[in-house]
Amino acid sequence: MNIFYRLLCISLCIAGIYPDVSAQETFYDDIEPAKIVVNHKTDRLDSKGMKIPGAVVVFESDDIGRCLGTVIECRKAFRPTEYRFRVSACKADGAILKLVLNRINEDGSQTSVLDAPVIFSLQHASEDNEYYVEASQDIMLSPGQYFIGMELLSISGEDPTILFPAYVKKSFSKEPGTDTLAEFPYNIGLSISGKKI
């Protein structure tokens, strides 16, 4: 990653180029895309942290398979209704991302609480937008700790980058195929909204 070369910019990895990788197209064709809405308001389960003016977290095609997110504490039973995040700009022609929502077990291992992957796409946009991905699965978060993150699966275009505003909050980078969370100081602002039960 190029954190030492670009102030507050984080290079995260993707797998392949969309839509030219036939193997990925075949896999994603079997999954119903998540619904995404722009500019909508509800309450959040956890704070995103303090926004750093002008600073961004960058998803680009230099690294592969990394997931960036944060650990949230659920104190009461909670039913997610949507996942929200802000994008400063999507310079890519298109991108496919996946939300990760795992319960952190007592032994440090993680268990996905999602019955199926929550996958959605972003298109080119030069303006700042807040996005809301509808929680299509009826799940209940019991009290405990959860890792919520975002993984970039594919991207296309002459400038394949997505810029997220950076927030001051402890975050974690998760390597593919492992439960290991490496501490990272900046957050992309991904959060969960829903209802306390």
DSSP secondary structure of 130-159? EEEEE--S---BPSEEEEEEEEEEEEESSS
Q: Is residue 4 included in any domain, yes or no?
A: no
Q: Is residue 175 included in any domain, yes or no?
A: yes
- The pLDDT, as a whole number, for residue 102 is 94
Q: Is residue 3 included in any domain, yes or no?
A: no
Residue corresponding to tokens 């980078």 = 173
Q: Is residue 64 included in any domain, yes or no?
A: yes
In tens digits, the chain (197 residues) has pLDDT values of 433 323 333 333 333 333 333 344 444 556 666 656 555 556 667 878 899 999 999 988 876 677 899 999 999 899 998 899 999 999 999 899 999 999 999 998 999 999 888 999 999 998 899 998 888 888 999 999 999 999 988 888 899 999 999 999 889 988 777 778 889 888 999 989 888 87
- The pLDDT, as a whole number, for residue 70 is 92
Q: Which domain holds residue 106?
A: 12-196
Q: Looking at the DSSP assignment, which residues form a beta bridge with residue 193?
A: 44, 82
Q: Is residue 65 included in any domain, yes or no?
A: yes
Q: Is residue 102 included in any domain, yes or no?
A: yes
CATH of the domain at 158: 2.60.120
Tokens representing residue 84 in the block:
């929200």
Provide the sign of the torsion angle of the four alpha carbons 25, 114, 81, 168, taken in this order: negative
Contact between 189 and 49 (Cβ < 8 Å):
yes
* Burial category of 70 from C-beta neighbours within 10 Å (exposed 0-12, middle 13-18, buried 19 and up): buried
- The pLDDT, as a whole number, for residue 21 is 36
- The pLDDT, as a whole number, for residue 63 is 60
Cα angle: 146, vertex 191, 69; to 5 degrees: 60
In total, how many domains does the chain have? 1
- The pLDDT, as a whole number, for residue 7 is 31
Q: Is residue 190 included in any domain, yes or no?
A: yes
Q: Is residue 6 included in any domain, yes or no?
A: no
Half-sphere exposure of 38 (CA within 13 A, CB side): 8
pLDDT tens-place string over residues 85-133? 999 999 999 899 999 999 999 998 999 999 888 999 999 998 899 998 8
Predicted TM-score (pTM) of this structure: 0.75
Written in H, E and C, the secondary structure of 104-132 is ECCCCCEEECCCCCEEEEEEEECCCEEEE
23 phi/psi in degrees, rounded to 5 = -65, -40
- The pLDDT, as a whole number, for residue 14 is 34
Contact between 102 and 70 (Cβ < 8 Å):
no
